[in-house]
Structure 1
Amino acid sequence: MAPEELLKQKSFNVVISADDCGKRRNRTEIRRILLDGGYPGEQIYEFDKRKEGIQRYDPSQYFAPDFIKYQEEEILIDGGCYNLDSALEMRRHCKNLKKVYAFEPDPISYKHCLAVQQETGFEQVKMIQAGTWNSKTTLSFEIGNDGGSSLAKTGEISVPVVTIDETVMPEDRITYIKLDVEGAELESLEGARITIQKYKPKLAVCLYHKPEDLITLPLYIKGLVPEYKLYVRHHSNVPEETVLYAVIP
C-alpha cells in the first residue's frame, strides 16, 4: 500500500519496524510522514528489535566456530571495530593476541573505542580513524553512532579511507581479518589483496549487506587464494549477521 493511500484511509493500526543495521532514524522519518499527513498518533506503534528480545549481534560469531584454529600468536585486522567488542572477544579466544589494527571511521565510535581501550588496558590495539577501502581517498559517510554507520553517497560528513595493504607494517604477519564494514566488504578485500595472498590469514567477512555479496565475495576470495576452504554461518533470527569464513585446511 502506498503511503498516500494509507494517509487517505487512516483506518489501520500501523506498526513501524525499520531498525535494520541500526538505522533507527528510518522509524523516526516514517512516523514523521504519517503524523504530518494527519494520521492518528494513537494508531502508530514502533517495534524495536533490540527491546523485543530478538537476537541481533554476538561478537563471538567471528571467532567461535569450531573450524577456526588459533595459532600461538595472532595479529588481527578489525575492519569496522565500532566499540572494540570484536577485538576483546578475540582476546578471549586466542592465547596471545600480539596486535590489533582497529579501523573505525565514525568519529563518535572512534572516541568510544579509545575510551574502551584505556578502560580495558588493551595495549595491543592500534586505533586507526579511517575506513577500509581499495584506495586511499576521502568518501562521504553517514553517521549513525552505532553499528550501522556507513559510507554513503549523501552522508553528513567526509571520512578518510585507506587500504589494509598500505596500513599494515611490513614486520607484522597478519593472521586474521574480520570485516563488518556495512557494504564496503568487497572494496576492503581488494585493498587487502597483497596481505591476503602473502599471509593467507583466516577471514571472517559479513555477507549480508548487499545481495550480490553472496556471490561476489566468495568468488573474489577464492580467486585470491584457491586453497581457502569457505564456510557460511548465520548468527541471528533476523536477516542480519551472516558471516563468510575462509580458512586454510
Structure 2
Amino acid sequence: MAQNYYENEYGRYSVPDGLDARPAVKKVKSGDVYEPRTIAFMRREVGSGDIVHAGTFFGDFLPALSSSLAEDARIWAFEPNPESFAHATRTIDLNGLSNVSLTNAAVSNGAGELLFRTHNPDGEALGGHSHMVKAPGKGITSVKSVRLDDMIPEDRHVSILQLDVEGHEKKALLGAKGIIERCNPIVILEDFEDVLWLIETFGSERYDRVIQVHGNRAFLPLGRKVQTKTDG
C-alpha cells in the first residue's frame, strides 16, 4: 500500500496505486471532490440519522459524510475488496473518524461467501469497479457477504441508504428490507435502471419520487421534500 496520502477540502485519503484512470482516484489525487453534488445532497439530507454506505472503495466519501452527521449518528460502511478496504481503513485513521464503522464484506440478501472479481484476467486491478461473479477464475476471490438487516442494530435510525455495488443492488436491497420498512430512508443507487422493481418491491406508498444526482438515482420517501439540484 502507498504510504503517502492526498487531500481535498474534506480531508485526507489513502489512495490505491495503479488506478489513476478511475474517476474517483483521478479527482482525489488532483485535490478535487469526486461526485460533489452527491456528497452535498447526502450531507444536506441526512438530518439526525445514520448513513449506510456500501461500496466504500478507498473511503473517498467518508470524511465529507462523517463531518455532516449529528452527534450520536454513525456511518455504516462496507467494502468487500481487501485492498480497497485497507485503504478505506487508513483513510478513516488519517482523519480520525470515530463515527464510522467499516466492515470488510459485500452486502447481499444472505450471509455467507460470494465470488468477487478484483482484477481482470490480465492482472489489472479493478478498484471501485470490482464486482460479483458466478464462477471462479483468475482475478476472482471469495469474500464475506452480510445482510444489512443483520449488521445495523434495530434501534438505529437510517436516514440514507447508499449503494454503489456494481450490479448487486437488488440482492443488497432485499437484505435491507427491514431497514427500509422501519426507517423509510432515502435510497441512493448508482446506475440503477429498474426503477419499477424497487417501487413494486417496497411499495409505491413508500417511495413516490426519483431524482438524478450525478450517475445515481435517489428514491425519495413519500412526501419527502428535498432541495433538488439535478444534473443537466
Counterpart amino acid of 1:229? D
CA distance in 2, matches of 1:229, 1:150: 30
In the aligned structure 2, how far is the partner of 1:229 from the partner of 1:173?
21
What amino acid sits opposite 1:101 in the alignment?
Answer: W
Amino acid at match of 1:120: N
TM-score (norm 2): 0.70
The residue type equivalent to 1:245 in the other structure is: F
Q: Is the 8 A contact 1:218 1:230 kept in 2?
A: no
Q: 1:102 aligns with which of 65, 74, 77?
A: 77
Q: Secondary structure at the match of 2:127?
A: coil
Q: Quickly say closer, same or farther: Cα 1:201–1:100, change in 2 above 3 A.
A: same
Secondary structure in structure 1 of the residue aligned to 2:73: strand
The residue correspondences of 1:40-119 to structure 2 (distance < 5 A) are 58-65=34-41, 69-71=45-47, 73-96=48-71, 98-119=73-94
Equivalent position to 2:134, from 153, 160, 167: 153
Between Structure 1 and Structure 2, which shows a larger proportion of helix residues?
A: 1
Question: Do the aligned partners of residues 198 and 159 (structure 1) sit closer, same or farther apart at CA in structure 2, a change above 3 Å counting?
Answer: same
Q: Which structure 2 residues correspond to residues 1-249 of structure 1 after superposition, within 5 A?
A: 58-65=34-41, 69-71=45-47, 73-96=48-71, 98-143=73-118, 144-154=125-135, 156-208=140-192, 213-221=194-202, 223=203, 226-233=205-212, 235=214, 241-248=215-222, 249=224
Contact 2:66–2:100 (CA under 8 A) maintained in structure 1: no
**What one-letter code is carried by the residue in structure 2 that aligns with 1:107?**
P
How much identity, in percent, do the aligned residues show? 21
Unaligned runs of 5+ in 1: 1-23, 26-47, 236-240
SS in 1 for 2:128: coil
Q: Is the contact between residue 54 and residue 162 of structure 2 (CA under 8 Å) also seen in structure 1?
A: yes
Task: Number of aligned residue pairs: give it.
Answer: 189
Q: 1:49 to 1:81 in 2, by over 3 A?
A: closer
Query: Larger Cα Rg: Structure 1 or Structure 2?
Result: 1
Cα 1:92–1:122 shift into 2, 3 Å: closer
Work out whether residues 46 and 160 of structure 2, in 8 Å CA contact, stay in contact via their aligned partners in 1.
no
CA deviations on 1:27-85 (whole Å, 9 max, x unpaired) are: xxxxxxxxxxxxxxxxxxxxx686xx99xx9333434349x6342x2211111111222
In structure 2, do the counterparts of structure 1 residues 149 and 247 end up closer, same or farther at CA, with 3 Å as the change threshold? Answer: same
Verify the 8 A CA contact 1:137 1:160 in the aligned structure 2.
yes
